[in-house]
Structure 1
Amino acid sequence: MRCLRPKASSLPLSLVDVYRELKKKQKKGDTTVSERDLTAKERQFISRIRAVTAEHNENNVTRTAAYLDFYLRHREIHWAFLGHMVSRNGGWNMTDLKGELLMRLLSEEERQSFFAFLERGNWLIFQDIYPQFLLYEESQKHGRPLFYLLPYVGVSTFMETIWNHFWHRGDLYTLAIALVINEQSYLERRVIQHPVFQQTVFQTLKFQLQELLHFNHILFPHDDGQGGTALIGQTLHQFESLHERILLGKRLYSILFDNEETLENAVRWAVSHPHTGSRKDYWPHLFNDVCESFPREPYRRRIRDCQIVPGAPRLYSPQLRHAWKNVAHEAAEPGDWFTDPHVVRYLVKPEQPINGEIIHAYCETLEKIELAIIAKNAFFHAR
C-alpha cells in the first residue's frame, strides 16, 4: 500500500478521533484473544455467528443474496449493497469461465485456477464481513455496542474502532469506505500476494487478465425507468495494487450512493432480478443460460455494438449452479492486516463527481474477445 502520512490536524474533524484511536492500537501491537475470556452467553453468540455465516457462505449465489437481504433490513449499512453488486460481478466472472467465449480461449487448467482465485476471494470476504453485520444487528437488539467481540471472530482491530465510531456518530460514508479498506487489505496477503495465486493466475494469465478478460469491468445494472436495464460501472486497470483497489471501491461507492435516484433504481433492479451468476440476468438480448450454438462449430463474430447480429445465437452464460460445484475451503489464514493508522487518509471523501459510463468499454472488450477467439482458431488451423 502507498504510504499515506496525514497529521491529525490535516484530517477532517470527524476523523481525528478515529486516527488517534488507531494510533493507540498501533502502539499496543497484535494482541491474541482467547474465548476463555468470554462469558458462556458470549461464547454461545460467537458460535451462532460462525454457524449463520457458514450457512450463507456456501457459494457466490448464497453470499450475494445474503448481502442484499441484510441491506434491505439495514439500509444504513451501505457496504452491504455495494458488496452485493460487486459480488454479482464475481459470480459473472466465475460463470464466464464456463461460458461460450472463455471456454474457447483458456485451457481447462487456466479456468480452474482462475475460478479458485475468484472463489477464494469471494469466500474470504464474506466470512470476514458477515460476522460484522451480525454483530451490528445484535448490538441493535441489545441497545449497546458489542464490537469488542469482533477480534473473537477474526476481524481486524481496525474495524472495531470504525464500528464504535459509527455507533456513536452514525457516519455512513466512513463506515462504508472503512469496510472497503478492510476487505481489500484482508485479501492482500491471503489472495493477491499468495504464492499459489501469484504463480497460477497473475503470472500464467497476466496477458489475458490485462487485455482480454472483462473481469476488470465492474458492472452495476439498474432500472432504466422504461422497463429495461441500464449499466453503470468502473474499470480496474491494476488489480494487483491494493491502493488502486481501494480507490476503485471508493469510486464504485460514489456512483451508487451519490445519486439517490440511481441508488433506488439499482436496488429495485436487484430485488426484481435474483442473482443466478448468468449474465442473462442483466442482458438477456445478448446472453442466454441455455447454449444455442453447436459446440464444434467454428466461432463467427456475433456482437456488434453490444447487440447480437441478426440470426446469430446468443452467447452462452450458464447459471453458477450448473457451472461450478460448491468448494470446501480451508480456514482463513490468521493475522490482523492493520499495522498503520495512516490508512485513515482513505476515509476522506473526494470532492469530484464520478462518471459511471461503462458500456462503451465493456462492449469493446466483448468484441476484442471475439477477435482473439477467431485469431486463435486461425493460428491453430494454419499450423
Structure 2
Amino acid sequence: MIREDLKKRKKHLPALSNELTLSEEKLLNKIRWITREYNLNNVTRTKAYLEFYLRHPEIQWAFLGHMVSRNGGWNMTDLKGELLTKLLSKKEQESFFHFLERGNWLIFQDVYPQFLLYEESLKQNRPLFYLLPQLNVSIFMETIWNYFWRVRDRYILCIALVINEQSYLEQRVIQNPHYQKEVFTKIEFYFQDWLSFNQILFPSEGENLKGQTLHQFQSLHERILLGKRLYAVLFKNKDFNKQVLDWAKRQPHTGSRKDYWPHFFNYVNEGTPGITYPLRIKSCRLRKGARRIYSPILEHAWKNVSQPDAEPGDWFQDISMVNYLEDDIEMMDGEIQSEYCKTLERLEVAALAKKAINFLE
C-alpha cells in the first residue's frame, strides 16, 4: 500500500498551492515559530523530543530521537572534555562541533514540525498532512503520515522517520563538501572510528548501559540499519524500555556524561592544570583514589549557534527505500557496556600518549 501510494504521489506532484486559508497560514506560522524556539541548542531539542513523547507515546521516534540526541550532546561536550582536548586541536574541535550541531539542528527543524502538525490533526480530528510540503517535508513522509493516520502502525512510522532523517542529512551534511574536507578527511575522524567512539548509549536505572556501535558513519545504508537496531534494543524489550524511560524522566539532559555515570564523570574539572595523571580507567572502574573524568555541561562547553536555512530539495527519489520498512530485526540485547569501557581505556591511553609526544616536542 505504501509503495503504491508513493508511486502515485511521485508521478503526480502538485505544485505548492499559494491558496492557503487564513487558519492554515496561522497554523504553519505557529509551527515554524515553536520549532525555532526549541531549536536553540542540543539541550532544548532533546527536552522537546521527550516532552512530545510523553504527550504522544504512539510516536516512538520521539523517544528514540530523544535518546540519540542525548548522545549527540555527549559527543559535543566530549570535544571540550578531558580526553579529546588532548587529541584534537581547537580548530578540529570547532569543526567537529559544527558538524554535529548542524546535523542535530537540521533533523529537529525537519521532524518537529511534523510532530506539531500531527498534534494539530488530533485536535481537529482530521489529517492535515497535505500541509507538510509547505514545511519542506519530503513527500515520503506525507505518504507515511497519511498511512499512519489510517493504520496506526507505530513501527512503520518510527522506521520511516529514521529513513527520512538520515536521507535528509545525506546531501546536506554527509556529502557536503565543507564537512567532507573539514571532518571526514581528517585522520582524527578515522581515529575516532578505530576507537569505536561512535557508540550510541541507552542508560537505564542502576547505571546500566545498552546500545549499538556505528563504524561506517558515511554510509546511509549503515546509518539506517543502525536506527533499526536501536529501535529493536529500545522498544522490543518492554522491561528495558520502561527502565530507560524512567531514567530519562528522572535525569534531565545536560550534555555532561555525568548524567548517566556520576561515579565516573564530573562536570567540574577535579584535576590540577599542568599535572599529568597516570592511567585511571580499568575494567569499567576508576582506579582506587583516581579523580573523575571531566565532562562539561553543554552550556559551559559551547555557545548557541545561529544556523543558515536548510538547503531546499526533496531527498526521495528511489522507491526501493520502502524496503527498509520491513520489520526484520528481532529483539536485541544491546550489550555495549564492556565495549564502551574498553573505548574509554583506549581513549585515555591515546590522550596520554599524545600529551607525552607534545611534551617531547
Scaled by the length of structure 2, the TM-score of the pair is 0.97
- CA–CA distance in 2 between the matches of 1:97 and 1:346? 33
Cross-structure match for 1:48: 30
Q: 1:232 is matched with which residue: 207, 210, 230?
A: 210
Cα distance in 2 between the residues matched to 1:317 and 1:106: 16
Alignment gaps of 5+ in structure 2? none
CA shift, 1:378, in A, is 2.8
The runs of 4+ residues in structure 1 deviating greater than 3 Å are: none
Question: Aligned partners of 2:346, 2:192: CA distance in 1, in Å?
Answer: 13
Residue aligning to 1:376 = 354
Q: Which of 9, 23, 39 is equivalent to 2:7? A: 23
- Greater displacement, 48-57 / 36-45: 36-45
Give the deviation of 1:209 after TM superposition.
Answer: 2.9
Contact 2:79 2:93 in 1 (8 A): yes
Where 1:173 maps in the other structure, the secondary structure is: helix
> In 2, Cα distance between the equivalents of 1:231 and 1:352?
19
1:332 counterpart residue number? 310
Unpaired runs of 5+ residues, structure 1, are: 1-16
Residue 9 of structure 1 corresponds to which residue in structure 2? none
User: Which residue matches 1:13?
Assistant: none
Identity of aligned residues (%): 60
* Contact 1:26–1:340 under 8 Å retained in 2: no
Deviations 1:181-200 (A, max 9, x none): 00000000000010000000
Q: 1:210 maps to what in 2? A: 193
Aligned to 1:220: 202
Q: Is the 8 A contact 2:280 2:290 kept in 1?
A: yes
Query: Which residue of 2 is the match for residue 136 of structure 1?
Result: 118
Distance (Å, rounded) in 1 between the aligned partners of 2:182 and 2:196: 16
Secondary structure of the residue that 2:254 maps to in structure 1?
Answer: coil
Which residue of structure 2 aligns with residue 320 of structure 1?
A: 298
> 1:171-216 deviations in whole A, cap 9, x for unaligned?
01000000000000000000001000000000013322312362x1
Q: Return the alpha-carbon distance in structure 1 between the equivalents of residues 73 and 233 of structure 2.
A: 21
**Equivalent-residue separation in structure 1 for 2:120 and 2:173 (angstroms):** 30
CA contact (8 A) 2:196 2:213 kept: no
Cα distance in 2 between the residues matched to 1:299 and 1:190: 41
Name the counterpart of 1:309.
Answer: 287
How many residues are matched? 360
Superposed CA RMSD: 1.2
Contact 2:281–2:345 (CA under 8 A) maintained in structure 1 = yes
Aligned-partner Cα distance in 2 for 1:32–1:315: 55
Distance of 1:229 and 1:374 partners within structure 2: 27
C-alpha offsets along residues 131-151 of structure 1, whole Å, 9 cap, x if unaligned? 000000000000000000001
Q: Which moved more, 1:119-128 or 1:353-362?
A: 353-362
Q: Which position in structure 1 is the counterpart of 2:169?
A: 187
Residue 351 of structure 1 deviates from its aligned partner by 4.6
Moved more, 256-265 or 62-71: 256-265
SS in structure 1 at match of 2:200:
strand
Distance 1:179 1:21 in 2: 17
Which of residues 59, 66, 78 is equivalent to 1:77? 59
- Cα deviations across residues 259-297 of structure 1 (Å, max 9, x unaligned)? 111111111000000000000000001000100001211
Distance in 2 between the 1:372 and 1:299 partners? 13
Taking the aligned partners of 2:200 and 2:104, their CA distance within structure 1 comes to 15
Q: Following the alignment from structure 1 to structure 2, what is the Cα–Cα distance between the partners of residues 244 and 52?
A: 32
Q: Which residue of 2 aligns with 1:154?
A: 136
- Determine helix, strand or coil for the equivalent of 2:204: strand
**Equivalent pair of 1:299/1:373 in contact (CA under 8 Å):** no
The offset of 1:340, in angstroms, is 1.4
Aligned-pair distance for 1:18? Answer: 0.3
User: What is residue 322 of structure 2 aligned with on the other side?
Assistant: 344
Matched, 1:285 2:263: yes
When structure 1 is superposed on structure 2, of 19-28 and 245-254 the one drifting more is: 19-28
Structure 2 partner of 1:6: none
SS in 2 for 1:377: helix
Q: Is 1:33 matched up with 2:16? A: yes
Distance 2:64 2:33 in 1: 24
